[in-house]
């Protein structure tokens, strides 16, 4: 009879250990997911900044190239 109690106790302890492992794995997965979301957000922010800079540079280049005012427009072309 004692062997049956020992086997039952071992089974209960095994299930408890398995439950703890699952809980730890779930917490680790949640933390990893949160880190991934943060990394994607930072990458999106950096991409947005880069696109904004490129668009502004292109818009300024077009504005400079099409400016008819000699005081503010592009430098006149020189011919040798």
Task: Give residue 78's pLDDT.
Answer: 67
The C-alpha atoms of residue 68 and residue 80 are separated, in whole angstroms, by 23
Phi-psi region of 59 (alpha: psi -120 to 50; beta: other; left: phi over 0): alpha
Say which DSSP state 75 is in: P
Please say whether the beta carbons of 42 and 32 come within 8 A. no
Quick: pLDDT tens for 4-47: 655 666 666 666 666 667 778 888 888 999 899 889 999 999 99
Note the pTM of the prediction, 2 decimals: 0.53
């Amino acid at each position: 009879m004692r062997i049956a109690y020992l086997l039952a106790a071992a089974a209960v302890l095994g299930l408890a250990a398995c439950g703890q492992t699952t809980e730890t794995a779930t917490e680790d997965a949640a933390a990893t997911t949160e880190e991934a979301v943060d990394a994607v957000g930072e990458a999106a922010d950096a991409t947005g900044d880069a696109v904004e800079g490129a668009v502004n540079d292109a818009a300024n280049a077009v504005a400079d190239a099409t400016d008819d005012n000699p005081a503010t427009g592009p430098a006149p072309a020189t011919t040798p």
